[in-house]
């Protein structure tokens, strides 16, 4: 987007905003997918007791017992210039001055998104993994497949439905979010949702509606692309 100087200022800003929104969606999707798949795999295949599975699963939902705003604000005393992280690092003489990019930055926005929405990835993947026939894994092991081969060739394909559903949840929520970006970005980071919210507050309803329609179209295209990978109706 460095070459967007050839375009009008308004169009340039709009393109950069959509690019920023897509960037956050992709980053959060990748991180939540890795964490969600890892947690779901551990709960489904390494925790043998159903009671322990239930207990650990409930522990994963504890952050959802409070509102999103409270969970976001809880990062401020940790990541701020005089927060716990900076004070600890300075106390250990690992840094001389506070790290500025921990809060009100792209890092803090992505961190908050991951904290808020990883559960939306864990649940559908865990549900798919619990439906996998364990005899298939035993057959792969008996055939001489390594753990990684079994994971990649058996578990991942059979968990595809959960991965797609979790991806749809995370991407669509992040694409339209404006509260998290506003709070954790210090009102300095733009997103399509934030622009729509600002335009609405200034009674610029035609512009807000236009952006909302474009955002909806982009989200629907992403969902359509994801659902082409698996027939969710048959898998559920």
Segment among 61-75, 83-97, 106-120 with least mean pLDDT:
61-75
Is the alpha carbon torsion for 107, 110, 113, 117 positive or negative?
negative
**39-59 pLDDT, tens per residue?**
999 988 888 788 888 888 888
pLDDT at res. 100: 85
pTM of the full structure: 0.87
pLDDT at res. 27: 95
Residue 63 predicted with pLDDT over 80: no
Mean per-residue pLDDT, 197-215: 90
Given a contact cutoff of 8 angstroms between Cβ atoms, the answer to whether 196 and 178 are in contact is: yes
Mean per-residue pLDDT, 127-153: 86
Residue by residue, DSSP assigns 76-94 as HHHHSTTSHHHHHHHHTTS
Mean per-residue pLDDT, 187-216: 88
**Residues in Cβ contact with 16 at an 8 Å cutoff, skipping those fewer than 6 apart:** 1, 4, 190
As to burial, measured by CB atoms within 10 angstroms (0-12 exposed, 13-18 middle, 19+ buried), residue 8 is exposed
**Residues in Cβ contact with 49 at an 8 Å cutoff, skipping those fewer than 6 apart:** none
Backbone phi, then psi, for 132, in 5-degree steps?
-75, 130
Sorted by where each starts, the structural domains of the chain and their CATH numbers stand as 2-74+106-235 (1.10.3720.10)
Most confident of 8-17, 183-192, 196-205: 196-205
pLDDT at res. 2: 55
Count of CB atoms situated within 10 Å of the CB of 126: 24
Band of pLDDT at residue 23, cut at 50, 70 and 90: very high
For residues 133 and 128, what is the distance between their CA atoms, to the nearest angstrom?
11
Given a contact cutoff of 8 angstroms between Cβ atoms, the answer to whether 103 and 189 are in contact is: no
Band of pLDDT at residue 26, cut at 50, 70 and 90: very high
Band of pLDDT at residue 1, cut at 50, 70 and 90: low
**82-99 pLDDT, tens per residue?**
888 889 988 888 888 888
């Amino acid at each position: 987007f460095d070459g967007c100087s050839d375009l009008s200022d308004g169009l340039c800003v709009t393109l950069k905003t959509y690019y920023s929104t897509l960037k956050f969606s992709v980053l959060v999707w990748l991180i939540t997918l890795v964490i969600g798949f890892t947690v779901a795999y551990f709960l489904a295949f390494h925790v043998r007791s159903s009671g322990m599975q239930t207990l650990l699963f409930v522990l994963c939902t504890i952050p959802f017992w409070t509102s999103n705003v409270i969970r976001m604000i809880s990062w401020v005393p940790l990541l701020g210039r005089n927060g716990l992280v900076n004070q600890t690092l300075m106390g250990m003489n690992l840094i001389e001055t506070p790290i500025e990019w921990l809060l009100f930055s792209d890092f803090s926005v992505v961190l908050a998104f991951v904290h808020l929405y990883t559960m939306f990835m864990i649940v559908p993947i865990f549900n798919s993994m619990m439906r996998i026939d364990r005899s298939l894994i035993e057959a792969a092991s008996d055939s001489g497949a390594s753990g990684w081969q079994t994971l990649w060739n058996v578990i991942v394909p059979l968990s595809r439905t959960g991965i797609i559903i979790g991806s749809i949840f995370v991407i669509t929520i992040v694409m339209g979010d404006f509260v998290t970006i506003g709070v954790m970005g210090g009102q300095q980071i733009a997103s399509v949702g934030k622009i729509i919210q600002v335009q609405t507050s200034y009674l610029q309803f035609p512009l807000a509606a236009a952006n909302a329609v474009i955002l909806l179209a982009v989200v629907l295209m992403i969902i359509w692309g994801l659902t082409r990978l698996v027939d969710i109706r048959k898998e559920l």
